[in-house]
Amino acid sequence: MLDALWQRRALLVSGKGGVGKTTLTAALARAAVASGRRVLVAEVEVSSDEQNGPSPLASLVGVREPGPRVTEVSPGLSFVRLSPIEGQRLFLQDVLPLKLMAEAAMRMRALRRFLEAAPALREMGVLYQMLHLIRSTRSDGGQRHPLCILDLPSTGHALALASLPDTLLSVMPGGPIGRSVREGMGLLRDPALTGALLVTLPEPLPVSETLELAAAIQRHRIPLAGGVLNRVPENPFSPDGRAAVEKLLGEHGPHQGQRALGRLDRARAAEARLAGSLPVPLFTVPELPATGIQLVERLAQYLTRPAPNAPSRAGAPS
């Protein structure tokens, strides 16, 4: 089921704050590595002042010093923090005839200020560095990073990245910039190469927001790869057991158990609504009693478990 995801070159993990994007990026990467893929997990540097600041993703994959250079964490798993400045440097290097000139240009304070001031140029740097990594090959000609999983910091960021090619092309349609933007656009918009994974929680409002995000992302012609319904509570009841519990709770007045039952119902409704509205597979991921790296390991195990026969052990598209 996940194999279809691993065939792509770039997975963009997006969703509202706190829904589990970073945790799932790390877990998906581990699951892909366990299936024999080589994976680069990437995050976007928040600001150039924080080039070496803390990174939740880096800690979850076991990197101590996150930075704009690729770090190999373990066989098959690498990490990078995409940096606008690094991407812009690579861009100038490709556009200006000599590497030395590109480096000299990047040292000019005025140029740096200009590049940092325009938000589109920040995004361009990020996109360019990502493209550069995706295109990079090894000495034997093979792909250095066959699969890149990018943890996007916010839905706004996903949309900014998605709308970037149009913005840039409208300003600079020709020349080397236009050419590299077109190339980026070709990659970002090809469903065989790129896909957005939209993470959400099993409650009505987050689901509505996710459906809006899915529509916005598609309007920008970024392909969707899947929905991820995260933190789905375990349903311990058989239909008979549930009826018995409801009867008991009914007889004894309001009780905390009723809240738990309500949560289960909302999770089921969320799953049905997403499965009915998203044009892509929906993966359901359970709420697990763990945190940090331990949670990532357990989620990766869950994602790579043998194909379940019983439909109640969700994870397959509905």
Ligand X SMILES: Nc1ncnc2c1ncn2[C@@H]1O[C@H](COP(=O)(O)OP(=O)(O)OP(=O)(O)O)[C@@H](O)[C@H]1O
**Rounded least distance, CB 21 to ligand X, Å:** 4
**Rounded least distance, CB 99 to ligand X, Å:** 35
The yes or no reply on residue 56 touching ligand X (CB under 6 A) is: yes
Residue 317: CB atoms within 10 Å:
15
**Rounded least distance, CB 292 to ligand X, Å:** 7
**Rounded least distance, CB 183 to Mg ion, Å:** 28
Q: Which residue of 8, 30, 81, 231 would you call a contact of ligand X, by CB under 6 A?
A: 231
Long-range contacts of 233-238 (CB under 8 A, 24+ apart): 233/202, 233/260, 233/263, 233/264, 233/267, 233/286, 233/287, 234/286, 234/287, 235/264, 235/267, 235/268, 235/312, 237/264
The yes or no reply on residue 200 touching ligand X (CB under 6 A) is: no
Q: Which residue of 285, 300, 303, 314 would you call a contact of ligand X, by CB under 6 A?
A: 285
Q: Which of 91, 111, 199 is nearest to 155 (CA)?
A: 199
**Rounded least distance, CB 284 to Mg ion, Å:** 20
> φ and ψ at 44, to 5 degrees?
-105, 130
Site string for ligand X, 6-45 (x = CB under 6 A): -----------xxxxxxx----------------------
Interatomic CA distance for residues 57 and 53, integer angstroms: 12
Q: Which is nearer to ligand X, 12 or 185 (CB)?
A: 12
Residue 44 binding result from Mg ion, ligand X, none, given CB thresholds of 5 to 8 Å by partner type? none
Give the three-state DSSP class for 72: strand
Site string for ligand X, 293-312 (x = CB under 6 A): --x---x-------------
CA 37 from centroid of its chain's CA atoms = 17
Contacts of residue 119, Cβ cutoff 8 Å, sequence gap at least 6: 160
Residue 139 binding result from Mg ion, ligand X, none, given CB thresholds of 5 to 8 Å by partner type? none
Q: Which of 193, 187, 226 is nearest to 8 (CA)?
A: 193
The residue ranges that bind ligand X (CB under 6 A) are 17-23, 56, 230-231, 285, 287-288, 291, 295, 299
